[in-house]
Amino acid sequence: MTLIMGVVNVTPDSFSDGGRYVDADAAVAHGLQLRAQGADILDVGGESTRPGAERVSPEVEQERVLPVVRALAEAGVVVSIDTMNASTAAAAVEAGARIVNDVSGGMADPAMLATVASAAADVVLQHWRGHSADMYASAVYDDVVADVVGELAARIEAAAAAGIDPSRVIVDPGIGFGKRGEQNWETLRGLDRFVEMGQRVLIGTSRKRFLAEALAEDPADASEARRDLATAVTSALAAQAGVWAVRVHDVAATRDALVVAGRWAGADGSDGREG
């Protein structure tokens, strides 16, 4: 069964929904709505990782996310904290988060892996080649799938060396991070290689530029609704490839896509997402 991770951005500048839910009460309400629509996990973030985004301090990040994490966890939601800062990860886990989603794979903050090792939380290690402001400068690969698999394997080893049991590690190939258009498609075509690594695999294609580039000559002409449809398609295909979870903004459309894909595959569960 592929899980759905719903995105809750508590930021003024995220590429898709920045500013909509910067107020804590609005963010919590949005998160509860996503859960009602079928989200299994909510990923709360207080720092945009869109291309060109500027960093924010851990203090600002925590001011944004901790009230949201706490309220959602108290409501019984499985919460993931989307952060590259060890101090934010520790505070969020204390507030009830059960997953630390680090888009840098533990590389941005040297204290992150040790912090996670001592916390009662799983960790997402994403493939990463630098901060958003200049990540495309490193989008050079001999073989993008083989290179990303190798670099993620190194992060799993680093996590183990820090004391994190491999059973707690989830890997994310980092669609859109340090990868240009076709490199993202090549990575998705190679999902079986990531699944074969033996870790749970998280995929996040939601509303990203490479989808817009596939839909329209000018990506600006690809509306949010069109990107959400493309996201649902890629999420269903990722589920068929065996990923553990998909990270999306539009939970309802993705759930419908997974239900239909599950029925196509012969699933007999009531929600259609088995198999």
Catalytic entry in 70, 168, 207, 247: 247
Q: Is-contact 179 213, C-beta < 8 A?
A: no
- The reply to whether 208 belongs to the active site is yes
What's the burial of 181, exposed, middle or buried (CB within 10 Å: 0-12/13-18/19+)?
Answer: middle
- At residue 243's C-alpha, the angle toward residues 96 and 147, to 5°, is 105
Which amino acid, residue 18?
G
CA–CA distance from 174 to each of 12, 25, 36, 69, 158 (Å)? Answer: 22, 30, 27, 24, 18
Catalytic entry in 208, 227, 255, 273: 208
Alpha carbons 9 and 222: distance in angstroms, whole number: 21
Alpha carbons 41 and 23: distance in angstroms, whole number: 20
Question: So which residues are the catalytic ones?
Answer: 208, 247
